[in-house]
Amino acid sequence: MKNLKPEDVRTGPPAPAQSNEPNPFFQPWILDNARRHLLAPHERFMLAGDERRIILPLAVDRRIPGWLPTIAHIWGHKHCFDSTPLAQNPSRDDVKSLFDSLAEEGIDILRWRRLPMDTAFAAALLEFLKGQGLAHEETKSYERSLLIADGSGPDSFFDRLGKRRRKDLRRRRQRLSELGEVEFVTYQGRHDAMQWCHDFIELEASGWKGPSGTRTAIGCSESERAFFEAMARDGAASGNIIVHSLTLDGKPVAITVNFRSGTWVWAYKVAYREDLASLSPGVQLEVEGSRAFLSDPGIACVDSCVASGRSLMNDLWPGRRPMAEFLIAVRPSANPMVRTSGLLWRRYLALKNAARDTIRSRRFPPRASAAASA
C-alpha cells in the first residue's frame, strides 16, 4: 500500500472523451434493483453526500461491535464493477461535503474498491485528502482493458488483430457456418429484454458456472436471477443496455451484455456455449461486438470491466484504464489506524514476495557461471 498524491493519478492512454460519464452501476435502474435483491442481511445501507453534487452508496457491517472503529465500504456487490460516485465535475468543496456527511454518520474509515483513477472525481478526491491531511493507503492497483474509438473505424480494428489471428478467426467462423446459419444480432435503444435475458441466463448456466460446475451462474441464485431480470427490464426500457448475440440457426451461441452511459460503455457479462468452445463463439462475438462499437459515432470508450492481465480483452483492446482500491481515514483521529494498516500490509507483501522468491530459487537454482565452472 502507498499514499497517493494528486500528481500520481494515472491517466492511461489518451482517450477522445473524458471518462466522466455517469457511472451506470450507481444509477437507479441498477442500484435500486441491487439494493432490493442483493443487500445482505448484515449490511446497513446508506446514501452519503449532497444529492445535488455527489451521491455515494455505502454499507456498514452490522456484525462489527460498536466499540470498534466504524468502517464503511462503498457498496460494491459482485455485479458492480465501477464505484465512481454520481458527480458532475466535482470540486474539492464537493468532496469535503461528502466527507462531512460521512463523519456525521459516525464513519471513521472508508474502504473503497474498484475506483477508476482516470476521472475528475479521482483527482478531486486525492487533492482533498492531501489538503486535509487524511491518511489514505492504496491497497491494490491494476488496469482494465479499454477499447478506445480513435476514429480509425472498425476495419482497422480487425487489421490490428494480426494476420495469423485473422486467419484463425475466419477458419473458425467457416467451421461454425458449416453447422448452420450464423448471424450477429444487436439489441439496443429502448427494447424488451425478456428474450435475451432468458437466453443469457440459460446459456451461462449451461457451462462451467452452472449447476454441474461452480454454481456461480446468475441462474443458480434466486436473488441474483431476480436482480438480473429486473435490471435488464429497466435498463432495456430506458435504452441503457446494448446486447450482442451470435446465433446459430436462430439460437444464441454467445451473448454479451453491456451498459451504456453517455459516450461510454461497460462490458458487463459474457456467456457462450462451451460445447462449441473449439470454434470460439465468444471470441467471434467479442470481435464483432468491438467492430459494432467502433462503428457507432456516439461511443468513445468501452470498459472491459476485467483486469487486463488475465482476459481475452487484454489482446483485443490495447487501451488501459487504471484502477485502484483504498483504505481512507474519514477523520484525522483515524489516521493512525489507516497508516498502521498500510504498514502491516506492506510488511505482509514483503514477506509474501520473499517467500515466493525463496521457493523459486530452490526450485530453479541459478546456473553456475562459465567462469565458476571452469
Shared domain for 64 and 138, answered yes or no, is yes
Q: CA 217, 221, 222, 228 torsion: positive or negative? A: negative
CB 128 within 8 A of CB 54: no
Query: Does a structural domain hold residue 310?
Result: no
Residue 312 lies in a domain: no
Q: Can you give the pTM of this predicted structure?
A: 0.86
Question: 83 near 69, Cβ under 8 Å?
Answer: no
What grid cell was written down for 315?
A: 489482446
User: What is the number of structural domains in the chain?
Assistant: 2
Q: Same structural domain for residues 293 and 209?
A: yes
Per-residue pLDDT of the chain (374 residues; tens, 9 = 90+): 444 443 443 334 444 444 678 999 999 999 999 999 999 999 999 888 766 567 789 999 888 877 778 889 999 888 999 999 987 678 888 898 889 989 988 999 999 999 999 998 999 999 999 999 999 999 888 999 999 998 877 877 777 777 888 899 999 999 999 999 999 999 999 999 999 999 999 999 998 898 888 899 999 999 999 999 999 999 999 999 999 999 999 999 999 999 999 999 999 999 999 999 999 999 999 999 999 999 999 999 999 998 877 667 787 888 999 999 999 999 999 999 999 987 887 788 778 888 888 887 777 666 544 444 43
Whether residue 277 is found in the same domain as residue 262: yes
* CA distance readout (Å), 335 to 103, 123, 286: 14, 21, 45
Beta carbons within 8 Å of 27's beta carbon, 6+ residues apart: 86, 240, 261
**How open is the CA angle 168-162-297, to the nearest 5 degrees?**
105
Tell me if 373 is assigned to some domain: no
Does residue 316 belong to any structural domain of this protein? no
CA distance 229 to 205: 15
Residue 369 lies in a domain: no
Q: Is residue 227 one of the residues assigned to a domain?
A: yes
- Domain containing 254 equals 150-299
Q: Are residues 40 and 106 in the same domain?
A: yes
Residues 186 and 65 reside in one and the same domain: no
Measured CA to CA, the distance from residue 209 to residue 203 in angstroms comes to 10
Residues 162 and 253 in one domain: yes
Please name which of 82, 152, 116, 38 lies closest in space to residue 324, comparing C-alpha atoms: 116
The answer on 165 and 247 residing in a single domain is yes
Residue 363 within a domain: no
